């Protein structure tokens, strides 16, 4: 099925044909002609599938990532994994998703490692799909939710 949209000349955002300005950047759409696109194209740009972090040792321990979360011995998320680790800090690290990119910030004593490389403390670091994040001795894989089998 195809639908008509107004594609913003400034940022390529797909707007409704009734839009007079781009809902993303405010660009004037008065002289932009509607174009027909496949419905599925719109879906694929809109739906990202989201991100999740999955424990490397306990597949059942997983959580969707959106917004900002804190992990560590004093945090609710993955308490069963962090609580039994003497190496993780009370507030070990933060994770967030910004513009569909997963980022991690270390705030610990024993370190946070992305693909076995220690990341600088108190700096947001972007994490690629299928990367491993290790909080001291507790490891997770970052993946797309739809990749789960
Ligand atoms: Zn725009």
For the chain, the structural domain boundaries read 2-46, 51-147
Residue 8 C-alpha to ligand 1 middle, in angstroms? 5
How is residue 124 annotated by DSSP? E
Residue indicated by tokens 């990367």: 131
The enclosing H or E element of 62 equals strand 62-65
pLDDT tens, position by position, 38-63: 876 665 554 567 999 999 999 899 99
Residue 50 C-alpha to ligand 1 middle, in angstroms? 23
In 3D, which of 39, 19, 95, 33 has the Cα closest to residue 63? 95
**Residue 67 confidence (pLDDT):** 87
Q: How far apart are CA 22 and CA 47, in angstroms?
A: 19
Residue 39 C-alpha to ligand 1 middle, in angstroms? 19
Q: Tokens for 16?
A: 């409704």
**Residue 1 confidence (pLDDT):** 75
Q: Which pTM value belongs to this model?
A: 0.67
> 3-7, 11-15, 66-70, 106-110 — which one is most confidently predicted on average?
106-110
**Residue 3 confidence (pLDDT):** 86
Residue 98 C-alpha to ligand 1 middle, in angstroms? 19
Distances (CA, A) of 117 to 24, 37, 72, 122, 126: 36, 43, 19, 15, 13
Contact 55, 61 (CB under 8 A): yes
Contact 35, 7 (CB under 8 A): yes
Residue 21 C-alpha to ligand 1 middle, in angstroms? 8
Domain 51-147 top-level CATH class: mainly beta
Residue 6 C-alpha to ligand 1 middle, in angstroms? 10
In 3D, which of 88, 43, 95, 92 has the Cα closest to residue 64? 95
Residue 48 C-alpha to ligand 1 middle, in angstroms? 19
Q: By mean pLDDT, which of 15-24, 46-55, 105-114, 126-135 is the weakest?
A: 46-55
pLDDT tens, position by position, 61-116: 999 998 899 999 999 999 999 998 999 999 999 999 998 999 999 999 999 999 99
Residue 14 C-alpha to ligand 1 middle, in angstroms? 8
How is residue 147 annotated by DSSP? G
């Amino acid at each position: 099925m195809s639908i008509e949209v107004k594609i913003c000349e400034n940022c390529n955002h797909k707007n409704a044909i009734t839009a007079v300005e781009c809902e993303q950047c405010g660009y004037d759409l008065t002289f932009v002609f509607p174009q027909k696109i496949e419905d599925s194209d719109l879906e694929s740009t809109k739906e990202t599938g989201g991100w999740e972090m999955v424990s490397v040792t306990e597949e059942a321990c997983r959580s969707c990532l959106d917004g900002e979360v804190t992990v560590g011995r004093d945090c609710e998320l993955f308490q069963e994994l962090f609580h039994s680790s003497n190496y993780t800090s009370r507030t070990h690290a933060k994770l967030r998703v910004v513009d569909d990119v997963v980022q991690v910030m270390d705030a610990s004593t024993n370190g946070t490692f992305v693909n076995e490389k220690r990341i600088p403390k108190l700096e947001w670091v972007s994490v690629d799909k299928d990367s491993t994040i290790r909080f001291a001795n507790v490891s997770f894989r970052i993946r797309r939710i739809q990749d789960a089998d």
